[in-house]
Amino acid sequence: DSGVTQTPKHLITATGQRVTLRCSPRSGDLSVYWYQQSLDQGLQFLIQYYNGEERAKGNILERFSAQQFPDLHSELNLSSLELGDSALYFCASSVVGTSGSGTDTQYFGPGTRLTVL
């Protein structure tokens, strides 16, 4: 158990819909990261938040957005869903996440599997 929790575990929805994925980081971790794992794109970094502020952006679609709340939990919002958005979405957390150094380990949650029908 990494200490990172994600809900829900599974989500099935239809095209055009909107969903929210939730992540609670490990106690004491200030940074939250979102990654998408799909068969065609592999594991891709989406976005990082540090202490409530957006820190870095990766290959995140405009239909997707995220935020980190004062209690440090984070939500990833996916809207106007398409079939191609079906994937496993991982959240990770780390203590700091601002140095670009490998000394700050990222701990991953179990993921949310999104299926768009």
Q: Is 28 in the site for another protein (CB under 8 A)?
A: no
Stretches 12-20, 29-37, 65-73, 75-83: which one binds another protein (CB under 8 A)? 29-37
Out of 11, 30, 97, 114, the only residue in the binding site for another protein (CB under 8 A) is 97
Q: Is 27 in the site for another protein (CB under 8 A)?
A: no
Out of 12, 14, 43, 83, the only residue in the binding site for another protein (CB under 8 A) is 43
Query: Total number of residues binding another protein (CB under 8 A)?
Result: 31
Q: Is 39 in the site for another protein (CB under 8 A)?
A: no
Which residues, 51 to 80, sit near another protein by CB under 8 A? 55-56, 58
The answer for residues whose C-beta is within 8 angstroms of residue 5's C-beta and 6 or more apart is: 23, 24, 109, 110
- CB count within 10 Å of CB 112 equals 21
DSSP assignment of the chain:
--S-EEE-SEEEE-TT--EEEEEEPPTT--EEEEEEEETTTEEEEEEEEETTEEEEE-S--TTEEEEE-TTS-EEEEE-S--GGG-EEEEEEEES---S--TTS--EE---EEEEE-
Q: Is 103 in the site for another protein (CB under 8 A)?
A: yes
Q: Which residues bind another protein (CB under 8 A)?
A: 2, 4, 31, 33, 35, 42-45, 48, 55-56, 58, 90, 92, 94, 97-111
